[in-house]
Amino acid sequence: MRQFIALLITLLYVGASYADNRATLLDFRFATSDKRTQIIIDLDKKIKYSINTNVQKIRLNIQNVKLLSQTYDKIFYTDSRIKKTRVKRQKNTMNFVFSTAEKYKVNSYLLQPDEKYQHHRLVINLNNIATQQKTKKQKHNKPTQQKIILIDAGHGGQDPGAIGYRHTREKNITLSIAKKLAKLINRTGGMKAILTRRGDYYVGLTKRIKIAQANKASVFISIHADAAPRRSARGASVYTLSERGGSTKFAKQLERSQNIEQSFGGRKNLIKNDQYLNKILWNFSRKDRDIQSQKLGHKILKQMSKIGYLHKKIPQKAGFVVLKTPAIPSVLIETAFISNPQEEKRLNNTKEQEKIANAIYQGVLNYYR
Ligand SMILES: [Zn+2]
C-alpha cells in the first residue's frame, strides 16, 4: 500500500512537471454538521467536473487538473459519513472515490473568487436523507418534503417605509409583490410560501425572523423598494448578510437605518450541552448560510436584470437585522427606486409587480436547480 502511494505521488509529480493550462487543486477542506458533510476544494481556476453517486460511493471526476503534494494529505478526511477516500489519476483527470456510510443526497456547485475567498471553489454537500424522512414523518406523512419559502413584505402599519414622489408607500408595494410571489410559489410542487405579514400592520423585525425559524424556512426573502435623495437613482439591488457587516458606505447607512431592533438570540437557539459542538455547528451554519445567500442573491439579480435596471450588479453585503437568521439563506431585495418617478409608476403597476414577483420566483427556482 505504501509503495502504491509512493508511486502515486511520483506519478502526480511527473504530471505536474509539464503543467500548463491545467487547474491546480490547492486545498481540501471539510466541515461536518449534524445534517451534512461539506467538501470544499480550493482551485486556482474554473474546472470541469462530474459526480456520480450510488448507494455507498461518491465518484468525483475532475478533468484537466493537477494536485499539489501538500494537498494530497488533506484529501483523506473521515467522519460519520465519509469512511474512506481513494484517489486515482488518469493522465490529466483526477478520480476521487469517497466511500460513505450510507446513501446521501449529494449536491455540488462551483463558486468564483470573491472579496472573502481568493480562490475558485468546488463545493460538494452530502446531505442526510434520514433526517429528511424523519421530519416528513413528524409532519404527519406529507407526500413530499416541502421547501418553505419565507416571504417578508417590508414595513407595514405605522411604518410606511419609503415614500414615493407621488406619495406611494413602500409598505403597500412590498405587500402586493410578496402576495404575487407567494401565489407563484404555492402553485409549484414541493414548495410552500409563508408570508411574515398578510395585511397592513406592523411586524417587528425579530418577530419576522422567529416566523422563519418556527416554520423551518429554507430561504428568507425580504422585499423592499429603495429611496434616494437623487431622483435619478434607479434599479434593483440585492443585499445578503455579511459577517463583517456592510461592504459599502451605502450598505452601512442602510444597515443603521434598518437595524431598529437589537440583535436577537439566534445563537442561544443552538446552544445545547456540548459547547464545543455548538461552536462548530454555529460557525458552520454561518459560513454555509453566507455562501447560500450569495448564491440565492446572484440567481435573483440575474432574473431582475431581464426586466429592469440594476442599481448594483452583484449582491451587496449588509448586516440587516432581518437577515440575521442562522442557517437560513436570506436576501433583501430592493425591487426598484420608489423615489424615482418612473420607477414609482412601475412599482404601482400590477403587470410590473407581476414581472418583479416572477423574476424573484425564477431566481428561487434556479437557486434550487
Ligand atoms: Zn424598505
CA distances from 54 to 57, 164, 248, 333 (A): 5, 56, 45, 39
Give the pLDDT score at 1: 47
The arithmetic mean of pLDDT across residues 340-346, rounded, is 97
| 32 CA to centre of ligand 1 in angstroms | 37
On average, the pLDDT of the chain sits at 80
Give the pLDDT score at 133: 52
- Give 319's pLDDT tier (boundaries 50, 70, 90): low
| 292 CA to centre of ligand 1 in angstroms | 22
Q: Quick: pLDDT tens for 138-185.
A: 444 444 578 999 999 999 999 999 999 899 999 999 999 999 999 999
The arithmetic mean of pLDDT across residues 333-341, rounded, is 96
**Secondary structure percentages of the chain, helix, strand, coil, to 5:** 35, 30, 35
Give the pLDDT score at 350: 97
Adjacent-strand bridge partners of 310? 236
| 161 CA to centre of ligand 1 in angstroms | 5
| 52 CA to centre of ligand 1 in angstroms | 44
Q: What does the angle CA 231 – CA 232 – CA 233 come to, to the nearest 5 degrees?
A: 95
Neighbours of 2 (CB within 10 A): 6
Give the pLDDT score at 310: 94
| 295 CA to centre of ligand 1 in angstroms | 22
| 252 CA to centre of ligand 1 in angstroms | 14
| 177 CA to centre of ligand 1 in angstroms | 13
Tell me: pLDDT of 332 over 80.
yes
| 356 CA to centre of ligand 1 in angstroms | 16
Tell me: pLDDT of 245 over 70.
no
Give the pLDDT score at 59: 92
Domains of the chain: 22-132 (2.60.40.3500), 142-368 (3.40.630.40)
24-28, 143-147, 212-216, 278-282: least confidently modelled range: 278-282
236 neighbors 347 (Cβ within 8 angstroms): no
| 170 CA to centre of ligand 1 in angstroms | 7
Give the pLDDT score at 56: 87
Adjacent-strand bridge partners of 63? 48
| 226 CA to centre of ligand 1 in angstroms | 6
| 325 CA to centre of ligand 1 in angstroms | 18
Reported as type and span, the H/E element at residue 252 is: helix 249-258
Residue carrying the nine cell digits 437605518? 257
The model's pTM is 0.54
Give the pLDDT score at 85: 87
| 115 CA to centre of ligand 1 in angstroms | 26
Give the pLDDT score at 327: 67
| 159 CA to centre of ligand 1 in angstroms | 10
Tell me: pLDDT of 107 over 70.
yes
DSSP-derived secondary structure for 282-314: HHHHHHHHHHHHHHHHHHHHHHHTTTS-BSSSS
The arithmetic mean of pLDDT across residues 356-366, rounded, is 97
Q: What would you report as the CA-atom Rg of the chain, rounded to the nearest whole angstrom?
A: 23
| 227 CA to centre of ligand 1 in angstroms | 8
| 153 CA to centre of ligand 1 in angstroms | 9
Q: For residue 312, which of 329, 333, 340 has the smallest C-alpha distance?
A: 333
236 neighbors 308 (Cβ within 8 angstroms): yes
| 44 CA to centre of ligand 1 in angstroms | 39
Give the pLDDT score at 272: 37
| 154 CA to centre of ligand 1 in angstroms | 5
The CA distance from 301 to 314, in Å, is: 7
Q: Which residues contact 16 (CB under 8 A, 6 or more apart)?
A: 66, 67, 68
Tell me: pLDDT of 246 over 50.
no
| 134 CA to centre of ligand 1 in angstroms | 38
Question: Strand, coil or helix: what is 325?
Answer: coil
Tell me: pLDDT of 27 over 80.
yes
52-66, 125-139, 215-229: least confidently modelled range: 125-139
Q: Quick: pLDDT tens for 113-147.
A: 887 788 899 999 989 886 545 444 444 444 457 89
15-24, 185-194, 247-256, 272-281: least confidently modelled range: 272-281
Q: Which residues contact 28 (CB under 8 A, 6 or more apart)?
A: 39, 40, 41, 42, 71, 74, 75, 77
Question: C-alpha grid cell for residue 60?
Answer: 468525483
Q: How many residues does the chain have?
A: 369
39-53, 191-205, 249-263: least confidently modelled range: 249-263
